[in-house]
Amino acid sequence: MTRTQKLLAELIALPSVNPAFLPAGHPRSGEHRVVDFLTATAAKAGLDVDQQQVFPQRCNLIAQLSPTGEVRQRILLAPHLDTVDVASEDQLVPAIKNGRLYGRGACDTKGSAAAMLTAIFELAEGKVRPAHTEINFLGLIDEEAGQGGSHAFAEKGFKADLAIVGEPTLLQLVTAHKGNLWLKLETHGKAAHGSCPELGKNAVHAMARIVDLLETKYAAQLRKRKHPLLGNATINVGTIQGGVQANIVPSYCSITLDRRTLPGETDASVWREIQALLKQHNLMATLGNTKASPCLPMETSSKLPLVQQFLRVLGQRKPQGVDYFCDASVLAHGGIPSIVFGPGDIAQAHTADEWISLQSLERGKDLMVKFLKSLP
């Protein structure tokens, strides 16, 4: 087992399930076990280590490798340390089979954490270290829920020239991802006995017309709205609730929407767009946001020198885009140019048999070493 594989196996064995997915006080809850372990591991490797408290007993980890000379630029390597819950306890027992390492977080994103941190360790222990580039490992909490870790770090005002956010991108450099807006629409009617529905006003029927409008005409409009890396914006009606029982005309109905946004779209512009669409078709509904913090789309220029340098190291002709949302957006909107990169495949994230290819893991570490050694 290589150093990177051993580190990843150790991380998998330490549960770090986001507390949003578990009852209070659950033994798998929280990132503190991983943060404490990596704090000790990074300090032993000679890095300067600090923790930033975000929530009680939940801290971001910051491990810094200083250059040999004056600091002229800063790089952040920023995977998240939390995971979704396990499908079974077996996912906390790392296992290698057929060239794969299995376990919760293997690709999302403890694999990125292991590859990035091992790369920094190799620089710290070797003779080749950047003369003027400060390298910071940023282990973020809470990505799987409210992105509290990246929001807290961005609000701190830390300045960096590039953040490489660890996510399973199949070792492709990603410069753009979609945003995510969750909306709740409510219709209100008038209850009446089911035997005389004409005396009531059916809120479910009214909502059915809205659902049809959103999934047909509105979705068709969005398919025409294209981005060169991300394709089109999308809408999904994810839940519907309404009515009390079959013999009562329902006076209330609600739906929740998942609206994936493109760079240039804002929460406010989407709200206005949906409200205008409803008004145009004489449909009435109240509109609300079900997410506490915005999940904004992100796009970083591929012309930035550091992005171009990373592309050359990867041998990649042009950057990619992804549909999912991650901490890169938060850091980018906080003033740090951000890209996404890491070993593994997003198709394996959150699955009952989550795994990462050992070849991808090692290749990811090697590419990170090569890029970091190329920095001035």
CATH number of the domain at 183, please. Answer: 3.30.70.360
Are residue 148 and residue 250 in the same domain, yes or no? no
| Whole-number pLDDT of residue 291 | 74
| CB burial string 136-145: b at 16+ within 10 A, e below | bbbbbbbbbb
Residues 278 and 302 in one domain: no
How do strand 58-65 and strand 48-55 relate by DSSP bridges?
Answer: antiparallel
- How large is the average pLDDT for residues 171-192? 96
Same domain flag for 352 and 255: no
- Non-local (6+) Cβ contacts of 68 within 8 A are 129, 130, 131
Check whether residue 168 and residue 205 sit in a common domain. no
Pull the structure tokens for residue 170: 């199949």
Sort strands 133-139 and 73-79 into parallel, antiparallel or unpaired: parallel
| pLDDT computed for residue 126 by the predictor | 86
H-helix segments, 27-147: 32-44, 110-125
Q: Assign residue 156 the CATH number of its domain.
A: 3.40.630.10
| 178 has a pLDDT exceeding 90 | yes
- Give the whole-angstrom CA distance, residue 204 versus residue 186: 10
For residues 156 and 49, state if they share a domain: yes
Phi-psi region of 37 (alpha: psi -120 to 50; beta: other; left: phi over 0): alpha
Same domain assignment for residues 251 and 337: no
User: Residue 196 has what pLDDT?
Assistant: 96
Q: Are residues 310 and 187 in the same domain?
A: no
> How many CB atoms are located within 10 Å of the residue 247 CB?
9
Give percent above pLDDT 90 in the chain.
Answer: 95
Residue 36 has pLDDT above 80, yes or no: yes
Supply the pLDDT for residue 262.
Answer: 96
Are 114 and 25 contained in the same domain? Answer: yes
Which residue in 256, 119, 109, 246 sits closest to 181, CA to CA? Answer: 256
Quick check: bond before 2 cis, omega within 30?
A: no
Summarised one tens digit per residue, pLDDT across range 225-243 is 999 999 999 999 999 999 9
For 297-326, how does the pLDDT look when each residue is reduced to its tens digit (9 = 90+)?
A: 999 999 999 999 999 999 999 999 999 999
Mean of pLDDT values over 134-156:
96
The mean per-residue pLDDT over the stretch 117-124 comes to 97
Boundaries of domain holding 244? 179-289
Same domain, 70 and 203: no
Q: Is the domain of 185 the same as that of 72?
A: no
Average pLDDT, integer, range 62-90: 97
CA dihedral 134, 139, 141, 144 (to 10 degrees): 110
Quote the DSSP letter at residue 16.
Answer: -
Does position 129 have pLDDT exceeding 90, yes or no?
A: no
Burial class for 309, CB neighbours closer than 10 Å (0-12, 13-18, 19+): middle
User: 163, 180, 164, 161: which is closest to 172 by C-alpha?
Assistant: 164
pLDDT, one tens digit per residue, over 338-375 is 999 999 999 999 999 999 999 999 999 999 999 999 99
- Contact partners, residue 217, CB within 8 Å, separation at least 6: 277
The tens digit of pLDDT for each residue in 249-302 reads: 999 999 999 999 999 999 899 999 999 999 999 999 999 887 767 789 999 999
Angle between helices 110-125 and 3-12 (to 10 degrees): 140
Separation CA 293–CA 185 (nearest Å) = 18
Structural domains of the chain, count? 2
- Please indicate, yes or no, whether residues 165 and 308 belong to a single structural domain of this protein: yes
At 295 the pLDDT is 87
Question: pTM score, two decimals?
Answer: 0.92
Last residue of a domain, one of 244, 273, 289: 289
Q: Are residues 136 and 18 in the same domain?
A: yes
Compute the mean pLDDT over every residue in the chain, rounded to the nearest whole number: 96
Q: Which of 289, 310, 337 is the last residue of a domain?
A: 289
Answer whether residue 166 shows pLDDT above 90: yes
pLDDT > 90? residue 127: no
Confidence of residue 43 (pLDDT cuts 50, 70, 90): very high
Tell which of 236, 269, 289 closes a domain: 289
Q: What type of residue is 348?
A: Q
Buried b (16+ CB within 10 A) or exposed e, 264-286: ebebeebbeebeebbeeeeeebe
Beta bridge partners of 59: 53
Q: Do residues 116 and 368 touch, judged by C-beta distance below 8 A?
A: yes
Query: Quick one: pLDDT at residue 306?
Result: 98
| Residue 98, SS3 per DSSP | coil
Reduced to 3 states, what is the DSSP secondary structure of residue 81? coil
